[in-house]
Every structure is written in C-alpha cells, then in structure tokens.
Amino acid sequence: MSRDEVIANIGTIAKSGTQEFFQALSGDEAKDAHLIGQFGVGFYSAFIVSDRVTLLTRRAGLPADQAVRLGVRGAGEYSIENVEKAERGTEVILHLREGEDELLSSWQLKSIIRKYSDHIQIPILMKKEEWDKDKGQQVVGMKTKPSTRPTRCGPRPKSDISKEQYEEFYKHVGHDFDAPLAWIHSKVEGRQEYTQLLYIPSRAPSICGTANVGTG
C-alpha cells in the first residue's frame, strides 16, 4: 500500500477496502471472488492479543524509499513514517501482550489457523521448522509449508470436484477416517443464494448425537 492507502484503509476504523473492491466487481467476477472482511475492523482484532501493532508495506511500482511504517496502539493512536523496504508487499507485526506467549508456539498457531481459517481459499504458509543435528535444536528453515488445506468444496462447481476431493473434505471436517456413504451437493439461487453440501457417514456414530455434516 501507499501512504495514502494506509491512512484510508488502516487508519480509518470501519473503512473496508475489501467491501469497496467487491462492489467494483462485475456479477461473474463477484461470484468467483473469495474475499473476507467487510466491516473495516478486522485489523483491529489484533489488539485482542497485542498491545501494539506495526505495519510495514510498500506498494508495487513505488521505489524502495517510499515504503510506509505504521505503528498503532490499542487506544486508537497511530504514527506513520516513510521508510526503506527492499521488497514490495505488507508485513504485519504483532507485539503480544503479557501472558500471550503461547501464541509463539508453532503448534498452537497451526491449531488456531486450521480451526478458524480453513474456509479461506488461499493457503496460509508458515516457515518450516527443522531439527538441526549440529545445534541439537529446532531451527526455522527457509522453506514454507501450508498450515491450511484449501479443499473446501462448497463454493466450487460440482464439475470441478473429484470423488477423492469430496471424500478428503469430508474426512477433514467430519474427523472421520472412513469415506462417506454418499453426499448431496446443491446450489440454490434466487432472492437468496446458498450452497449446501450434505454428507451421509458410512456408519452410525458410536454415541447418540448428530451425524457428521459438512456445509459449504
């Protein structure tokens, strides 16, 4: 982002750049878009676990000395300055509150990402941890590996989904090792549109309760 874009989209609460981008899309483009965030407060959810956040960004096409660093505190105050950044893109750095150190654990982060972000179509990548025999400890490697599995079937056309993908998605959301007995994938269009993906387990649950059902 440029300096003006940072002020407009991050420095202004309840201003959603995602919503404006979505409204500018045509009908077909809007249907194919997989966007989240419409209320302009997603960035500020970082203060649930942080007392301050640093954002470092450079818009594509701008020189390295036109990058922007934004420092935000939970009270709503922020500072902004131009800095150097070799690569384009955006980094968001959370300065954790006291007592939130468990979020530094890669296992805990993966668990949170998989629980709350598996619906995001673009995979989230994390630095890969490797065991260094010489140092006798875990080190962070340069390679990355996905922390989410973008296998959500609901929004995609049935013709684009294979039998194996349906079964893999069921095992993921249903926490079942066996493939489902059958499934129904339907889309309803009208004044309201929604997609339904209903799975029937291959065996009854061992205890009373609801059957495994995945919805898209």
pLDDT (0 to 100) of residue 107:
84
Backbone angles phi, psi at 81, to 5 degrees: -155, 155
Contact 92, 86 (CB under 8 A): no
Closest CA to 148 of 166, 173, 112, 124: 124
- Say whether pLDDT at 95 is over 70: yes
CB atoms within 10 A of CB 83: 13
Q: Give the full edge-to-edge strand order of the sheet including 67-73.
A: 78-83, 67-73, 50-58, 89-96
Q: Strands 194-200 and 182-188: what pairing?
A: antiparallel
pLDDT (0 to 100) of residue 203:
87
Please provide the DSSP assignment of 151-174 as one string: ---TTS-GGG--HHHHHHHHHHHH
pLDDT (0 to 100) of residue 216:
46
Average pLDDT of span 67-95: 89
In the structure, what pLDDT confidence band is assigned to residue 196 with cuts at 50, 70 and 90?
confident
Give 109-147 pLDDT, tens digit per residue.
888 887 777 666 677 888 777 777 777 666 666 666 666
- Say whether pLDDT at 178 is over 80: yes
pLDDT (0 to 100) of residue 14:
46
Between CA 125 and CA 153 the distance in angstroms is 20
pLDDT (0 to 100) of residue 189:
81
pLDDT (0 to 100) of residue 143:
61
Q: State the pTM of this model.
A: 0.60
In the structure, what pLDDT confidence band is assigned to residue 215 with cuts at 50, 70 and 90?
very low
Structure tokens at 74: 């939970």
Non-local CB neighbours of 18 within 8 Å, separated by 6+ positions: 35, 36, 37, 38
Q: Mean pLDDT in the chain?
A: 77
Average pLDDT of span 14-36: 52
Which DSSP category does 125 fall into? E
